[in-house]
């Protein structure tokens, strides 16, 4: 009951904050797209933390079409990784989730890739809804900031998690054998 109440509270706060954002910032501006993405990152992270799911769905397993990450490499995931290092995000995230040479750390990192992917997927879908609305209401050009930020802040992070997870799983299997 307590968990359900917390999830409802987070969802309500998210909806209320989003309405406030729509009210105070023009929906077709870059500042709205930026604020919406970060607002959703905050609330979705709290929501999935409160959910405390094991994330055991086969959705998270590597698919044959992913071809050991080649698809993501062709889509520019390595360039995106370099961009994360350039802006300092890699340093920040490694302080929160350090990569250590032990099984427990690898298990935590493996789970974190799933959680992060889920977070970004939820945000991607919500922002895509706003993107379609703005494109239909104000035109495609006015929706470009939502589209570009959604690609950079949500789609590429999903690609990165799907690219990294099989490598972490391999390291985890090796660690468990020792």
Each residue's pLDDT, cut to its tens digit, for the chain (178 residues) gives 899 999 999 999 999 999 999 999 999 999 999 999 999 999 999 999 999 899 999 999 999 998 889 999 999 999 999 999 999 888 888 887 777 778 888 899 999 999 999 999 999 999 999 999 999 999 999 999 999 999 999 999 999 999 999 999 998 888 888 6
Contact present, 50 and 153 (Cβ < 8 Å): no
Say how many domains are in the chain. 1
Tokens matching residue 124: 């991607």
Give domain status of residue 91, yes or no. yes
C-alpha dist (Å) from residue 90 to 83, 98, 110: 9, 10, 16
State if pTM tops 0.75: yes
Give domain status of residue 108, yes or no. yes
Domain of residue 127, residue span: 2-55+67-177
Give domain status of residue 33, yes or no. yes
Give domain status of residue 62, yes or no. no
Give domain status of residue 61, yes or no. no
pLDDT in the model for residue 101 = 76
**The Cα angle at residue 156 between residues 155 and 159, in degrees rounded to 5:** 95
> How far from each other are the two terminal CA atoms of the chain, in whole angstroms?
42
Give domain status of residue 60, yes or no. no
């Amino acid at each position: 009951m307590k968990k359900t109440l917390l999830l409802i509270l987070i969802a309500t706060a998210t909806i209320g904050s989003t309405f406030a954002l729509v009210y105070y910032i023009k929906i077709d501006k870059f500042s709205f797209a930026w604020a919406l993405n970060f607002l959703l990152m905050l609330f979705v992270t709290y929501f999935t933390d409160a959910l405390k799911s094991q994330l055991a769905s086969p959705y998270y397993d590597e698919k044959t079409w992913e071809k050991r990450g080649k698809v993501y490499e062709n889509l520019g995931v390595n360039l995106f990784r370099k961009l994360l290092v350039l802006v300092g995000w890699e340093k920040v995230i490694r302080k929160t989730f350090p990569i250590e040479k032990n099984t427990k750390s690898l298990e935590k990192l493996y789970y974190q890739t799933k959680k992060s992917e889920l977070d970004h997927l939820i945000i991607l879908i919500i922002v895509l809804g706003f993107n379609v609305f703005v494109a239909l209401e104000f035109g495609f050009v006015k929706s470009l900031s939502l589209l570009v930020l959604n690609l950079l802040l949500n789609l590429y992070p999903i690609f990165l998690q799907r690219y990294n997870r099989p490598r972490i799983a391999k390291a985890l299997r090796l660690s468990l054998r020792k």
